[in-house]
């Protein structure tokens, strides 16, 4: 369970040396330990870090780690140079495991796909496990945010990095929130009609498919949630994407990205063809259908 604010303030402090420069970040030990079992073992276990109350994390940028610390206190995170997201909503997913959340969402996706639900509806209706006040706040205003044109790359990449960080340290609540925020900001990105926006989005896709924290999969393994979100956006925004030269490099790269894209695109294409076939059968005159059966 999330500790009370008083307990977080009164608890001992723990120091993290973050990034290649080993910059010190001091935070409440109770707040960080409550995030996940890996952090709890690091802070309260028998490891050397717990004894010294000091841990080095050289492969994480300081800005990303500070957002993780913000989430430890407030169960939310903000991104500098974007509008402040005020609200007192709290997430409490401590009792739900990372596996349970992903398994449930994939089961729902399979049911929707079997029922012939269009990709756009599956993409937009997919439920991330965030508080209702978060959901309404991010979906209420879908007009283009003025600052996103300038901070598109930084904003989208920050969400993706937080997802990977949460996946690495087994923090399902943060994974869900990062995916929810990323999807909302991607929907704004579609309205930015310039080359820079395409390059910014491409960089996020490159990150998702190059980071060692997100391993490639075999054909029988479900696609990672972050990659799924990005590939679905590409398929749904193909008109916007095909006009951006930078996406050519993604397809030339091939590999896991090409496999995920083709699988998603082919699935949606088959659904559309089946839908057209059903409509044609429904509109075909009865006499022609009867004649076809006797031939």
Give residue-wise pLDDT tens across range 253-292: 778 888 898 888 888 878 777 777 776 667 655 554 545 5
Residue range 225-248: mean pLDDT, rounded: 81
Look up tokens 């890996």; give the residue: 38
pLDDT at 188: 72
With 90 as the cut, is the pLDDT of residue 58 above it?
yes
Task: Give the whole-angstrom CA distance, residue 200 versus residue 110.
Answer: 31
Half-sphere exposure of 246 (CA within 13 A, CB side): 16
With 80 as the cut, is the pLDDT of residue 206 above it?
yes
With 90 as the cut, is the pLDDT of residue 19 above it?
yes
CATH architecture designation of domain 5-74 = 2-Layer Sandwich (3.30)
The region of weakest confidence among 28-32, 52-56, 135-139 is 135-139
With 60 as the cut, is the pLDDT of residue 86 above it?
no
The region of weakest confidence among 3-17, 48-62, 96-110, 113-127 is 96-110
Give residue-wise pLDDT tens across range 124-183: 666 665 544 444 443 443 344 444 444 566 889 999 999 999 999 999 999 999 999 998
Half-sphere exposure of 184 (CA within 13 A, CB side): 21
Choose between 154 and 123: higher pLDDT. Answer: 154
Asked if residues 139 and 62 have their Cβ atoms less than 8 Å apart, the reply is: no
pLDDT at 10: 82
The region of weakest confidence among 18-32, 44-58, 127-141 is 127-141
Mean pLDDT of the chain: 76
Task: Give the whole-angstrom CA distance, residue 202 versus residue 190.
Answer: 13
pTM above 0.85, yes or no: no
Task: Give the whole-angstrom CA distance, residue 279 versus residue 78.
Answer: 47
User: Where in the chain are all domains bearing CATH 3.30.710.10?
Assistant: 5-74
Task: Give the whole-angstrom CA distance, residue 175 versus residue 168.
Answer: 10
With 80 as the cut, is the pLDDT of residue 77 above it?
yes
């Amino acid at each position: 369970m999330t500790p009370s604010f008083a307990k977080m303030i009164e608890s001992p402090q723990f120091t993290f040396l973050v990034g290649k420069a080993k910059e010190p970040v001091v935070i409440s030990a109770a707040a960080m330990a409550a995030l996940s079992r890996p952090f709890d073992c690091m802070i309260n276990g028998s490891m050397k870090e717990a004894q010294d109350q000091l841990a080095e994390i050289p492969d994480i940028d300081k800005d990303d780690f500070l957002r993780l610390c913000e989430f430890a206190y407030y169960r939310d995170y903000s991104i500098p140079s974007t509008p402040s997201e005020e609200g007192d909503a709290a997430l409490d997913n401590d009792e739900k495991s990372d596996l349970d959340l992903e398994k449930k969402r994939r089961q729902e996706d399979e049911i929707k796909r079997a029922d012939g639900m269009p990709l756009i509806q599956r993409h937009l209706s997919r439920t991330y496990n965030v508080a209702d006040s978060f959901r309404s706040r991010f979906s209420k205003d879908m007009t283009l945010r003025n600052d996103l044109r300038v901070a598109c790359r930084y904003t989208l990449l920050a969400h993706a990095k937080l997802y990977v960080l949460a996946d690495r340290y087994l923090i399902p609540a943060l994974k869900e929130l990062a995916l929810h925020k990323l999807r909302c900001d991607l929907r704004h990105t579609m309205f930015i009609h310039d080359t820079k926006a395409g390059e910014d989005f491409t960089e996020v896709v490159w990150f998702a498919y190059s980071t060692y924290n997100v391993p490639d999969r075999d054909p029988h393994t479900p696609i990672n949630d972050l990659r799924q979100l990005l590939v679905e956006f590409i398929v749904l925004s193909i008109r916007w994407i095909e006009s951006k030269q930078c996406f050519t490099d993604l397809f030339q790269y091939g590999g896991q990205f090409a496999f995920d894209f083709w699988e998603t695109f082919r699935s949606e294409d088959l659904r559309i063809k089946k839908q057209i076939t059903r409509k044609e059968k429904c509109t075909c005159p009865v006499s022609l259908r009867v004649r076809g059966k006797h031939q």
